[in-house]
Amino acid sequence: MTAAVVRVQRATLPSRIGLAVGLAAVLVLALGPLWALDSVLRTLISVFTLLALAQMWNLLAGYAGLVSIGQQAYVGLGAYGLLLFADTLGLPLVVAVLAAAVAGTLIAVPTALLAFRLRGGYFAIGTWVIAEVYRLVVTNVAQLGGGSGLTLRAASSFDRTTRLYLTYELALAVGVGTVAVTYLLLRRRLGLALTAIRDGEQSAQSLGVPVFRTKFVVYLVAAFGCSLAGAVIYLNLLRVQPEAAFSVNWTAFMIFIVVIGGVGTIEGPIIGTIVFFVLQETLSGYGAWYLVLLGAVAVVVTVAARRGLWGLVADRTGWSLFPVQRRLEERW
Amino acid sequence: MTWVNVVVQGLLLGGLYALFATGLSLMFGVMRLVNLAHGDLSIVAAFLALAIVDQVHVNPLWTLLVVVPLMGGVGYLLQRGLLNFTLRGGDPLPPVLVTFGLSIILQNLLLEVFSADSQGLDAGRLENASIRISDRLAVGWFPLLTLVTAVAVLVGLQLVLTRTRLGRSFRATSDDPEAASLVGLDPRHVFAMATAIALATVAVAGLFLGVRTTFTPSIGPTRLIFAFEAVIIGGLGSIWGTLAGGLVLGVAQTLGAQLSPGWGVLAGHLVFLAVLAFRPTGLLGREVPA
Q: What is the pLDDT of residues A81-131, one digit of tens each?
A: 999 999 999 999 999 999 999 999 999 999 999 999 998 889 999 999 999
B216 contacts chain A (CB < 8 A): no
For residues A147-157, average pLDDT? 86
Residue B288 has pLDDT above 50, yes or no: no
Name the band, by pLDDT with cuts 50, 70 and 90, for residue A4: low
How high is the pLDDT of residue B281? 85
- Interchain pair A299, B102: CB under 8 A: yes
* Contact residues on chain A for B94, CB-CB shorter than 8 A: 302-303, 306
B100 CB neighbours in chain A (<8 A) are 69, 124, 252, 255, 298
Is the pLDDT assigned to residue A65 strictly greater than 70? yes
List, for residues A208-232, the tens digit of each pLDDT value: 889 999 999 999 999 999 999 999 9
Could you say which residues from 46 to 85 on chain B have a Cβ atom under 8 Å away from some Cβ of chain A?
Answer: 82, 85
pLDDT at A61: 93
pLDDT at A78: 97
Which pLDDT band holds residue B286 (cuts at 50, 70, 90)?
low
Give me the interface pTM, i.e. the ipTM.
Answer: 0.92
Residue A76: per-residue pLDDT:
97
pLDDT above 70 for A308: yes
pLDDT digits (tens, 9 = 90+) for B227-257: 999 999 998 878 889 999 999 999 999 999 9
- Reported as a pLDDT band with limits 50, 70 and 90, residue B1 is low
Which whole number is the average pLDDT over A171-187? 95
Judge whether residue A1 has pLDDT over 70: no
The nearest alpha carbon in chain A to B34 belongs to A121
Minimum CA–CA partner of B278 in chain A? A114
B265 in contact with A at a CB cutoff of 8 Å? yes
Q: Kindly identify which residue of chain A lies nearest to residue B217, measuring between CA atoms.
A: A288
User: B109 at the A interface (CB within 8 A)?
Assistant: yes
Q: Which of A122, A258, A289 to mutate to test the interface with B (most CBs of B within 10 A)?
A: A122
Per-residue CA distances from A219 to A183, A212, B260, B276, B277 (Å) = 16, 10, 34, 18, 18
Alpha helices in chain A (DSSP H): 13-30, 32-35, 38-57, 64, 72-83, 93-115, 120-140, 160-187, 189-199, 201-206, 211-237, 242-245, 249-261, 267-283, 288-304, 308-317
Is the pLDDT at A7 greater than 90? The verdict is: no
What percent of chain B shows pLDDT beyond 90? 75
- Probe site for chain A from B105, B225, B278 (most A CB atoms < 10 A): B105
* pLDDT grade for A2, boundaries at 50, 70 and 90: low
Q: Give pLDDT tens digits for A13-28.
A: 878 888 888 899 999 9
What's residue A325's pLDDT? 72
Residue of B nearest to A304 (CA): B85
Subunit contact A129:B269, Cβ cutoff 8 A:
yes
pLDDT digits (tens, 9 = 90+) for B9-46: 999 999 999 999 999 999 998 998 999 999 999 999 99
Q: What is the pLDDT of residues B80-135, one digit of tens each?
A: 999 999 998 778 889 999 999 999 999 999 999 999 999 999 888 887 888 888 87
At B289 the pLDDT is 43
Q: What is the mean pLDDT of residues A44-58?
A: 96
Check residue A5 and give its pLDDT.
72
* pLDDT given at position B284: 82
Give B81-90's long-range contacts (Cβ < 8 A, gap of 24+).
B82/A299, B82/A303, B83/B33, B83/B35, B83/B191, B83/B195, B84/B188, B84/B191, B84/B192, B85/A303, B86/A302, B86/A303, B86/B33, B87/B31, B87/B33, B87/B191
What pLDDT score was predicted for residue A244?
95
Structure confidence at residue A3 (pLDDT) = 61
Q: Residue A178 pLDDT more than 50?
A: yes
Q: Which of B225, B265, B289 is nearest residue A125 as measured by Cβ atoms?
A: B225
In this predicted structure, the answer to whether residue A246 has a pLDDT above a threshold of 90 is: yes
Give the span between the Cα atoms of A288 and B113, in whole angstroms: 10
DSSP 3-state of A149: coil
A288:B101 CB<8 A: no
Chain-chain contact of B101 with A67 (C-beta, under 8 angstroms) = no
Q: What is the mean pLDDT of residues B170-184?
A: 89
CB contacts < 8 Å between A and B, how many?
Answer: 139
- pLDDT value at residue B178: 87
SS3 A150: strand
- Mean pLDDT of all residues belonging to chain A: 90
Q: How far is B105 from chain A (nearest CA, A)?
A: 4
**pLDDT for residue B49:** 95
pLDDT at A264 over 70: yes
Partner B contacted by A109 (CB < 8 A): no
Whether residue A228 contacts residue A101, with contact meaning beta carbons closer than 8 Å, is answered with yes
Out of A48-57, A193-202, B53-62, which region has the weakest mean confidence (pLDDT)?
Answer: A193-202
